[in-house]
């Protein structure tokens, strides 16, 4: 008999997290070794327990699930990350996959689908829920069109490019949030997406890249 799959559950909602843990513990092939309420906790649990899979929410306080995924894949590359969230917008899906997630499911998924997805990512498969799979297939069937050379960072959305421009002007998260009438958390999420798409390590490198392309020069 194969050993059970060792799993960490990361979700900031105690009721949701508790329900997932209770459900998964009814499956003899899965061993929930720890749970976390935020990204920092998920990274710590992955480093401490070296699980086969982390079942990861995206929107959590502090370090979000995308950044936690990136850090887990860097520090414990043998650990798989399966995203389980209520958000299926393109930016969240593709940013999570770029961070190293092996699968992406919505929280409306059935119990059997979640268990199958956990087994799938352990087996090396890329797992997507039906709605997410349709987005991924649609993206590759009709990828973003090439734009003019003087239009920097075509991989960014218009809003992300604007956030990057303000960042390159020296704006802090609070300043950018006030300028664009956004919450600081939304700005942080945009920056996480920008860093992933540009494949930069953080703010400093992003600012350098942006200024090289002419952003951040507005008065």
- Alpha-carbon distance 58 to 86, whole Å? 9
Q: Assess whether pLDDT exceeds 70 at residue 151.
A: no
Domain 5-140 in CATH 3.40.1410.10: no
Task: Tell me the H-state helices in 52-107.
Answer: 65-75, 90-99
CATH number 1.10.10.10 is the correct assignment for the domain at 158-212: yes
Of 138, 130, 140, whose CA–CA distance to 103 is shortest? 130
Give 34-45 pLDDT, tens digit per residue: 999 999 999 999
As to burial, measured by CB atoms within 10 angstroms (0-12 exposed, 13-18 middle, 19+ buried), residue 21 is: middle
In the chain, domain spans: 5-140, 158-212
Is there a contact between 83 and 10 (Cβ–Cβ < 8 Å)?
Answer: no
Torsion angle of alpha carbons 120, 124, 128, 130, nearest 10°?
Answer: -50
- Give the angle 153-56-96 at the CA atoms, nearest 5°: 15
What was the pLDDT predicted at 148?
41
Q: Quick one: DSSP state of residue 131?
A: H
Q: For the sheet containing 127-128, what is the strand order? A: 30-36, 5-10, 53-56, 80-85, 103-106, 127-128
> What is the tens place of the pLDDT at every residue in 13-36?
999 999 999 999 999 999 999 999
Q: What is the pLDDT of residue 179?
A: 86
Task: Give dist(CA 1, CA 13) in Å, integer.
Answer: 34
Helix H segments across the chain?
A: 14-25, 39-49, 65-75, 90-99, 111-122, 130-141, 158-168, 173-180, 184-198, 203-212
pTM, two decimal places: 0.65
């Amino acid at each position: 008999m194969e050993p059970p799959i060792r799993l960490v559950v990361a979700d900031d909602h105690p009721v949701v997290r508790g329900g997932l843990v209770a459900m998964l513990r009814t499956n003899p092939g899965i061993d929930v070794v720890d749970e976390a309420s935020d990204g920092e906790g998920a990274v710590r649990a992955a480093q401490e327990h070296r699980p086969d899979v982390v079942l990861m929410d995206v929107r959590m306080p502090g370090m979000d699930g995308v950044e936690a995924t990136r850090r887990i894949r860097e520090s414990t590359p043998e650990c798989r990350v399966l995203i389980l969230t209520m958000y299926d917008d393109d930016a969240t899906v593709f940013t999570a996959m770029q961070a190293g997630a092996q699968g992406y499911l919505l929280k409306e998924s059935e119990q059997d689908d979640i268990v199958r997805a956990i087994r799938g990512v352990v087996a090396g498969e890329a797992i997507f829920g039906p709605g997410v799979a349709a987005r991924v297939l649609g993206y590759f069937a009709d990828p973003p069109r090439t734009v003019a050379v003087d239009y920097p960072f075509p991989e960014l959305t218009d809003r992300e490019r604007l956030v990057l421009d303000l960042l390159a002007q020296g704006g802090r998260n609070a300043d950018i949030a006030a300028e664009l009438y956004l919450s600081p958390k939304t700005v942080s999420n945009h920056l996480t997406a920008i860093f992933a798409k540009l494949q930069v390590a953080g703010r400093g490198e992003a600012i350098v890249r942006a200024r090289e392309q002419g952003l951040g020069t507005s008065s």
